Structure 1
Amino acid sequence: MAKKTSFTIPTRRGFLAGGAAAIGAPALGQASDPSAIDPETAAVLYPDPEPEPAVPRNISSFRSKQWQPYFSSLRNGAILVDTQSRALHYWGEGESSYRLYPSSVPLTEEMTRRGRTSVIQKVEGPGWAPTPSMKKRNPEWPDYIPPGPNNPLGTHALYLGWKYYRIHGTHDTRKIGRKSSNGCIGLYNEHISELFGMAKVGTQVLLI
């Protein structure tokens, strides 16, 4: 599993500040220990991740990137999700900050969407409902899970311009660094909390 840290990288404008997409709701305490989740719900939503073959480039590719090959400007900030290295990069407007976070990515190529979109809503304490396709594949899943430690979206979510797609937290930390989602991008709760505070409605997003 990727080390539970993020990184702050200097740029040519000097050292950067700091270390390492819906409806508003109160902030929730972070529960990173899956044992704190209701066992019955956890067994349905958080099954043990399937073993994966080694990903030789996963560690070596988890490194900083420059924004210029991917964005024409940093207006409103920019988020790059690299599904191959399973990492999310964030640049603040005017290169005011840079963050690099380990992430989960979709289970299959069919569930993976790539291209450009943007953050259209920010939700603290999100509720979750399976999409029609998720419900078809998993009819045993509940129709709705309210905010809390059983919620697959963790403590915060950034809603994207693509319907049903989000960058969100997770209470099941085993998912990070793995092919483990139904299409969304997952982060540790402490990382999505930090990103949530920096990103804004209108932040550019690119998935590659």
Structure 2
Amino acid sequence: MTPGGPADVRELPALTIAKASVGRMDNNAYLLTCRTTGEQLLIDAAADARRLLDLIGPAGLTTVVTTHRHRDHHGALSQVVTATGARSLAHADDAPEIPVVTSTLRDGDTVGVGDCALEVIHLVGHTPGSIALLYRDPAGAPHLFTGDSLFPGGVGNSFGDPAAFASMFRDVTTKLFDRLPDDTWFYPGHGKDSTLGTERPHLGEWRDRGW
């Protein structure tokens, strides 16, 4: 995918996932649509409000969830919220540094999109309030939106802070890999998707290299 290019669409029985690349940092934004009600939720209004609003379309938007406080993940948030009237959600520990937050989230909370539900998973390290969102598809594998906490090839950037790396690695291991099956498909904040099964054999390597 390239910024401004066509969205990559995945159709699940109850939920449609549209992945778009936006902005100069090639951020991923994910539009989730409940196939029963048509309700829509956007993960990370990262950049290029016009592109995101075109993706949202006439069905409108109920919710925006921001995965963490770094500006490249919320550059278009104010414009999208103003245009759609959507509520804006983020973890309480990152909310003060995000321009528009109408309600805050905690670990274990549930965010609805129509008849579907997303579980909030707090992953401390990349930022204090980073989160992942988990959709447990009743008809198949789980789907996990990891922000900048997990990528193909490693956990997110800990900016040279050993304590932040240790926290992030621990949370990703215990809250994601230890809880979810290998066929869990995950969608990061930048770049390509992967599965937990593909990445699981490399956890030891990640721990040993420290990034």
Normalised to the residue count of structure 1, the TM-score between the two structures is 0.22
Structure number with higher relative contact order (C-alpha < 8 Å, ≥ 6 residues apart): 1
Where is the strand percentage greater, Structure 1 or Structure 2? 2
